[in-house]
Structure 1
Amino acid sequence: MSTEEHQIEFNEVTAKLPENLHPFIVKQPYSEYTAQNQAVWRYVMRLNVDYLKKVAHESYIEGLGLTGITVDEIPHMEGMNRILKDIGWAAVAVDGFIPPNAFMEFQAHNVLVISSEIRTIDHIGYTPAPDIIHEAAGHAPIIANPEYAEYLRRFGELGSKAISSPDDDLIYEAIRKLSILKENPNSTQQEIDQATKEVEEVQNNVQELSEMAKIRNLHWWTVEYGLIGSLENPKIYGAGLLSSIEESKDCLSDVVQKRPYTIEAAEVSFDITAAQPHLYVTPDFAHLSYVLEKFANKMAVRTGGLSSIEKLVKSTKMGTAELSTGIQISGVFTRVIAFEGAPIYLQTTGATALASQGRELIGHGTHQHPDGFGSPVGKLEGTNLAIEDMSPRDLEAYGIVEGKQVALNFEGGVCVQGRIVTGKRDIRGKIQLITFRECRVTYQDEVLFDPSWGVYDMAVGKSVVSAFAGPADDKSFKNIH
């Protein structure tokens, strides 16, 4: 950790955060809050709390007391954490926007990300930029409800596995720029107009929503801008509404259309810089989890197959593919060869690590695979029995024995020829990895691995059962986000 991190008070929840998230955490600059900052907090909170007593979900007012938030002053992060740990949560200060996958990963570890910034007096009613009123007074109180808190944690867990696309990065940066400009009192209208145009352009250029884009839509329409109860008389629980004087009043009027919350909300994008023309109403918190699980069943982390690897390739970011034996390949996937609708060869470029059950395999970190990793997937030609399902007698019959020269012809045309050195098995005795020397791997007339490149490690698996963003083992890589 850096010197600054040593000054941060970690509690039993934040102490368990993976190290790749530590760089986002900052020391809350409490002494830098001005008298005007404190006045803005008091003004917004007094107006909001008085009004929200009538229109917010009952968990909100109860949660204010349970999370250590008062009307009188901007909360101290350390003080909040001493109280939040009693309900199994924590909060950390960050400097404004952070990448979506990192945000979700914090949430998966029961940690709220709270911007240390506070809105200016010019944007006292609403700010598009992250600020402590939105995140401390909006998000924190509602997690005192155990059912909602579990939904939030589960959302983070799934969201951190959602595969993004390059479009998501462009949209994130464009919205970040526009939000900062809108909050900055020194910004010119010309700068704001230009940034608004850039946001519209990148959003209009999106051809297909990624998993990350869809799950962010669900997050927006529930965690940020959700209503609960009946369509005719809903209550507020979304943090964006709970922290906005203007929108908390407007959202319940007939001006804003109310829609039943369903999985279709994943396809509906939003504008972070403007008031929302419609909102979604969930009948109860249990329904939120029902919709989330329905969406998760369509994610690559659960479906696997060719489409899941194609998503990883398209993302151009680090991801993990898990094969049917449980072996996990983590890296930047750059190619997949397919046959009859199934992946038959996977290829990463650059630093790659192999793992099983989320733990790096000894001797198979990025130091062993610094330049990428490629492996066939599937069954051998002429047999219905996959290598992973072969008995010792079957393995001997196919020549898959240590010290022997072998030619393994896979369905679809990938051929592995070399001398077997050793293999790795999991705790159940299932073969996950076979190591070759003097090995050549080909696909039709193309050489995928040449003997001069050294030792060849072949992952074993008849299918891809899962694919997700990020590494299998956080400790395998630095600078994940």
Structure 2
Amino acid sequence: MSDFNDFNNPQVANLPKHLRQFIVEQHYEKYTPIDQAVWRYVMRQNYSYLKHVAFYPYIKGLQRAGLSIEHIPDLQTMNDNLGKIGWGAVTVDGFIPPAAFMEYQAYRVLVIAADIRQINHIEYTPAPDIIHESAGHAPIIADTDYNNYLSYFGSIGTKAMFSAKDFELYEAIRNLSILKEAVDTPEDHIARAEKHLQQISENMGEPSEMALLSRLHWWTVEYGLIGTLENPKIYGAGLLSSIGESSTCMQDDVKKLWYNIDTINYSYDITKPQPQLFVTKTFQNLIDVLETFANTMAFRKGGVESIVKAIACKNPATAVYSSGLQVTGVFTDMGVDENDQLSFIKTTGPSALAIDNNQLENHGKFYHKDGFSSPVGKLKGHQNALEDLNLSQLEELGIVENKNTSFTFESGIHVQGLVKSILQHKGKTILISFEDCTVKESNGNILFQPDWGMYDMAIGQTIISVFNGAADKGAYEEITHISDKQTHKVVYDDTTNALHNIYKTVRLIRERATGYEQLPILFEALKSEHRHDWLSAMEILEILYHKQQYPDLEKEIRIYLELKAENEPEQSKLIHDGLHVIKNPVTQLINEEEK
């Protein structure tokens, strides 16, 4: 991707190749006048309400992130502003894999879904959209304690082990959100996808590290409260970007509990309002809880339990030997000795060896295409670990290049063959390669035989760490970049184009404070040809009310909207909230805050 646009932002420029593959162009021109009106409506509602309950000064936060109430943000402006506080932003296509999402956070880059919710999902959308990501996450980024938490969470989350079920769940959620946001999806398709998601959700088994971590993410980054149990403030992006839930969450029937490590026991359902929320006294407490959980994770614990997690994952993971050697692949088997210690580990399919997250030369996934297996542990009758022996000490054991040798591990695994090379790194022996080699367990079970080719034996007394994904992601992970060059031109029918023109004209009249004589004609067109629409009528009413134009028309539109609210229950709250903000103008409130 030589034409990669980094927006002249150091954080974005620093993204590795395997993360760049998810980035899509924003294509600002594809946002319709209705999209812009949806943004403005939600942002005005947010501000009108959130000024009382948000943790931070909302408008100042928006401005520092390069956002405004009036227009959908463009990525360049956001990056210019976020760059000043050491962050960046990119647009992606809806849901991306959780591990990638976490890694962007670790690189201090906000991931923003390029699309915006449809008007019929204005209060809440099941799919990530630009309102949730930018209006929810971005304004609080300027808080140093919070953004440190976010990037630290990303670095921990990147290492979290998945279960195979997590991957199924991710695919099911992504599929459902795409169907729900698509125009004219048949109801039975949505029902089928919901049922499929429910079946997977109900059969998840023991939660994986990533599942538990995603709970901590949900109850903080998305739905977190800060302060006291009696009078908490909102900082979670899910609440800040949901005009429905940001108000209902403060009611007494939503329990408020202190945020601590026990919070991992509370699962969540993304399709329903939350029955309880968690309050932290400080952002530092979030880091402390995360640290407590991180100490239980495979990347810090290693050993048998961590390899078990890797096998359950059924996707590439990395095991780190105490010598520093890293083995990446899909783990399928392991051996355990009589003391419950690892005796060998095995991967199947493309595998790779690395040190310090850099792939070893000639040890990539094409060379080890059929998998990799190697003993773990100490040699029988030897005090010192094999990795700690220098070349002359190895020679005393008979391990010398171009000579035959044989030795047995404490676990009973016996190795016999011709030593071809000994690889050392920072004073540690990390890999010994053999020709004509046989590796057997004490019961005679063959782990390797001569006609399988060269035997590369990893060296290390223990497995000290196991983490999700590859050690050298750039070398191991295939870049499956989908071209973002295809046309984004959506063809709208004549009626929709006419409605877009009404929205566009109303915006121009409001911004230029001229052309009020067109408003009666525009409202007539709405009444006769676009009876389903309520937002454009609301915007016309706003202008008439504040500019004191056409009082009879103002009264007629108000009655029109109130009747609509009565007859169309699904629009009722939206219309009443819109009428409230017209009477309590946001601009006035913003000016007060800025003082």
| TM-score w.r.t. length of structure 2 | 0.78
Check conservation: 2:317, 2:466, Cα contact below 8 A. Answer: yes
1:341 matched residue in structure 2: 340
Paired residues of 1:8 and 1:26 also in contact (CA < 8 A): no
How far the C-alpha of 1:178 sits from its partner, in A, is 2.5
Taking structure 1 as reference, are residues 99 and 249 closer, same or farther at Cα in structure 2, changes over 3 Å only?
Answer: same
Q: 5+ residue gaps in structure 2?
A: 481-595
Deviations for 1:128-177, whole angstroms, at most 9, x for unmatched residues?
11100000100111111111101100111111111111111121122222
CA deviation vs aligned residue, 1:263-308 (integer Å, no higher than 9, x gap): 1222322111121111111111000000000110001000000111
* Matched residue SS, 2:318: strand
Counterpart mapping for 1:108-147 below 5 A: 108-147=106-145
SS at match of 1:440: strand
Change (3 A) 1:31 1:205: same
Matches within 5 A, 1:25-424: 25-58=23-56, 60-339=58-337, 340-392=339-391, 394-424=393-423
* Sequence identity percentage: 51
Change (3 A) 1:323 1:8: closer
State the shift of 1:393 in Å.
5.1
Q: Contact (CA 8 Å) 1:162, 1:299: kept in 2 or not?
A: yes
Matched with 2:14 is 16
Q: Which amino acid aligns with 1:164?
A: F
Alpha-carbon deviations, 1:161-199, whole Å to 9, x = none?
Answer: 111111111211222223333334523444333332222
- Bigger Cα displacement from structure 2, 49-58 vs 464-473: 49-58
Deviation at 1:44, TM superposition (A): 0.4
- Write the deviation string for residues 222-269 of structure 1: whole angstroms up to 9, x where unpaired: 100101111111000000000011111011111211111111222322
* Larger helix share, 1 or 2: 2
Distance 1:233 1:183 in 2: 35
TM superposition shift of 1:115 = 0.4
Deviates more, 1:388-397 or 1:372-381: 388-397
* Contact 2:21–2:479 (CA under 8 A) maintained in structure 1: no
Counterpart of 2:454 in structure 1 is 455
* Whole-Å separation in 2 of the counterparts to 1:148 and 1:441: 52
Q: Which has the higher strand share?
A: 1
Cα deviation for residue 396 of structure 1 reads: 2.8
Work out the CA distance in 2 between the residues paired with 1:173 and 1:267: 24
Change (3 A) 1:292 1:480: farther
SS state of the match for residue 41, structure 1?
A: helix
CA–CA distance in structure 2, aligned partners of residues 108 and 476 of structure 1: 20
For the Cα contact (< 8 Å) 1:327–1:355, is it kept in 2? Answer: yes
> How has the CA–CA distance of structure 1 residues 480 and 445 changed in structure 2, closer, same or farther, with 3 Å as cutoff?
farther
Aligned to 2:592: none
Write the distance in 1 (CA, Å) between the matches of 2:440 and 2:156. 37
Once the two structures are overlaid, the 10-residue window that deviates more, 235-244 or 174-183, is 174-183
Displacement of 1:335 in angstroms is: 1.2
Maintained 8 Å contact 2:344/2:376: yes
Structure 1: segments with no counterpart, 5+ residues: none
CA apart distance, 1:314:
1.1
Deviation at 1:366, TM superposition (A): 2.4
Contact 1:331 1:349 in 2 (8 A): yes
- SS of the aligned residue for 1:245 comes to coil
Letter in structure 1 aligned against 2:468: A
Bigger radius of gyration = 2
**Paired AA for residue 160 in structure 2:** A
Which deviates more, 417-426 or 464-473?
Answer: 417-426
Give me the whole-angstrom Cα distance separating, in 2, the residues matched to 1:27 and 1:108.
22
**2:21 aligns to what SS in structure 1?**
helix
- Distance, in Å, in 2 between the alignment partners of 1:124 and 1:289 is 33
Is the partner of 1:207 in helix, strand or coil?
coil
CA RMSD, Structure 1 to Structure 2 (Å): 1.7
Partners in 2 of 1:452 and 1:337 — Cα distance? 23
- Whole-angstrom CA distance in 2 between matches of 1:220 and 1:468: 22
Partner of 1:437: 435
Number of positions where the alignment pairs a residue of Structure 1 with one of Structure 2: 478
The amino acid of 1:462's aligned partner reads Q
Whether the 8 Å contact between 2:389 and 2:428 is mirrored in structure 1 is no
CA displacement 1:342-387 (0-9 Å, x = unmatched): 2111111222211111112223222332221111100112233211
> Counterpart of 2:541?
none
